[in-house]
């Protein structure tokens, strides 16, 4: 590997900031219609898992499932997610 090609461990710092950030205030862009909303403002359906849907077009943004030990997260309905992590960047 050259200096521009590293393994995934090199992303540990930024990923720790992403997954420690307050996600309900993060602004997501719907992959379906382009609507931008805070995740805390979208529609949540709860059942065996959680499904977050766009308020504008009802597209599925995020699906979350857990078995109590592991968590599966599918965010293919979010084109981008803008976070404001706490602490140094």
Task: Find the mean pLDDT for residues 81-88.
Answer: 79
Q: Which helix (H) or strand (E) holds 13?
A: helix 12-20
Task: Find the mean pLDDT for residues 37-58.
Answer: 96
Domain ranges in the chain are 24-82
CA atoms of 2 and 21, how far apart (whole Å): 31
The pLDDT, as a whole number, for residue 1 is 58
Confidence of residue 52 (pLDDT cuts 50, 70, 90): very high
CA–CA distances in Å: residue 83 to residues 18, 26, 28, 29: 7, 5, 9, 12
What is the pTM (predicted TM-score) of this model? Answer: 0.84
């Amino acid at each position: 590997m050259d200096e521009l090609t590293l393994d995934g461990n090199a992303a540990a710092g930024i990923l720790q900031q992403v997954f420690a950030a307050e996600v309900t205030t993060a602004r997501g862009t719907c992959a379906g219609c382009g609507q931008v909303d805070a995740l805390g403002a979208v529609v949540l359906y709860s059942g065996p898992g959680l499904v977050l849907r766009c308020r504008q077009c009802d597209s599925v943004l995020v699906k979350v499932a857990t078995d109590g030990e592991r968590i599966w997260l599918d965010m293919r309905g979010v084109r981008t997610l803008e976070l404001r992590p706490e602490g140094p960047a």
